[in-house]
Amino acid sequence: MKIELDNTEEKIVRATFDIIQKEGVSKATTKRIASEAGVNEVTVFRKFTNKNNLVEITKTYHFQILIDKVEEIFDFREDEETDEYLRSNFTDLINLPEEDFSIIKVALEDVRAVSDKKLLIAQITDVILDKFEKFFTLQIEKGRIRKVNPRVLGTLCYSITFQSLVLWKIYSESIELDGIDYSTEFLDILNNGIKI
């Protein structure tokens, strides 16, 4: 669901997200949001009815921005080689702006407060896995890689790519390699296995 916002609503949503990603939902009071957005608190209620509604719209709005970027990163050309595709999407992901990693961080924190709705992080997973499966199915059809289950291969690549980025960009874990060296090592292991 694409959310369309007018200028005032966008200011309020951006202020809300800024507070949520830095300090959590509990610190995002309507009074503070209004102050950060440069609007009256009454405007917040007039535009969004209540804080819970505002928080949900804020997450959905920012998350859709990220989903659109992820879709674009994992799109592929029919003639694209496997190494080129994997290196390209890994590099594009690692070079996303910090604000996009803040969206992922908020989505991961949503996991703690599981609700009836589908978790935001599951939507990212679905997009990436579907793109990987289509890409690897095409590579198998073209005879570029051996016949394997494309969903399993996609899951493997997703696990390495996405979880590595979460460790680096959200939890600040270091593995002593830059993104290019890391993707080169990953591709070497993927293409050649681990056996001598």
| pLDDT for the residue numbered 7 | 94
Confidence of residue 26 (pLDDT cuts 50, 70, 90): confident
d(CA 8, CA 131): 36
pTM of this structure: 0.76
Residue 44 pLDDT exceeds 90: yes
Confidence of residue 47 (pLDDT cuts 50, 70, 90): very high
Residue 179 pLDDT exceeds 50: yes
| pLDDT for the residue numbered 122 | 79
d(CA 103, CA 144): 35
In the predicted model, what is the mean pLDDT of residues 135-161?
Answer: 93
Residue 119 pLDDT exceeds 90: no
Structure-block tokens of residue 72: 């674009």
In the predicted model, what is the mean pLDDT of residues 11-30?
Answer: 90
In the predicted model, what is the mean pLDDT of residues 78-93?
Answer: 91
- Tally of CB atoms within 10 A around 82: 19
Structure-block tokens of residue 6: 């007018």
Least confident of 6-15, 127-136, 141-150, 157-166: 157-166
Q: Are 30 and 41 in contact (CB under 8 A)?
A: yes
132 versus 60: the higher-pLDDT residue is 132
State the chain's mean pLDDT as an integer: 86
The radius of gyration of the chain from alpha carbons, rounded to an integer in Å, stands at: 20
Confidence of residue 110 (pLDDT cuts 50, 70, 90): low
| pLDDT for the residue numbered 93 | 87
Residue 78 pLDDT exceeds 80: yes
CA distances from 106 to 82, 87, 89, 96, 163 (A): 31, 26, 22, 16, 15
DSSP 153: H
The DSSP-derived string for 65-76 is: HHHHHHHHHH--
